[in-house]
Amino acid sequence: MYATSLGDDGAELRPLEVWHAGELLANIDRGREFIGRHIGLPDAVSDLGGAHAWLKSYADKRGADAGSVHGLWLDGKLVGGLLFRVWDTAGGTCEAGCWLEPAAAGHGLVTRGMRVLLDWAFDERGMHRVEWYASSANEPSINVARRLGMTREGVLRENYLYRGVRASTEIWSVLAPEWRAARARTAPDDH
């Protein structure tokens, strides 16, 4: 198994596989209410069978080149994840997302991990556009989009009913040329 270090704090980005179902369930259980404020993942991962089925759905997506899921580990413990919920190779567009348990929030793990995945999506896989959808009430997720240099394209007002409340969705994106230009501006000068 491979792991990509995300810094000197013991944070790593690794594949999240079907056999991690127990770790995923423990991660969701530690942050069930926090994670579930804006996304339905805790509803899908309500027990070990649900965790296994959800991870299997992403294994199937990876096999079909239609999506993928990656774990965020801190000091050897799964604390969240990053995913490409939608992946359209032919169209050059994908949708990224995340979740994180509350104890791991505020350390920049999602932003650092997404930078690695965006580099991969644009440079290795030839994506042209990465989208980020977030509830208008999910300020941490919106802040990640901002830190990644994404552009807010609009708001789908009260577009979905979530746990009995009408919620709005913000749409953010970054294009390959924008990502590369921003990366070039922040790269250390080798001269």
**Residue 87 lies inside a defined structural domain of this protein:** yes
CA–CA separation, 189 and 191 (whole Å): 6
**Residue 122 lies inside a defined structural domain of this protein:** yes
Strand duo 68-74 + 129-135: pairing: unpaired
**Residue 98 lies inside a defined structural domain of this protein:** yes
Q: pLDDT tens for residues 25-46?
A: 999 999 999 999 989 899 999 9
Q: Which domain holds residue 141?
A: 4-186
Number of domains in the chain: 1
Q: pLDDT tens for residues 64-123?
A: 999 999 999 999 999 999 999 999 999 999 999 999 999 999 899 999 999 999 999 999
| Nearest alpha-carbon partner for 51 in 82, 14, 13, 20 | 20
**Residue 191 lies inside a defined structural domain of this protein:** no
Residue 82's domain is classified under what CATH number?
3.40.630.30
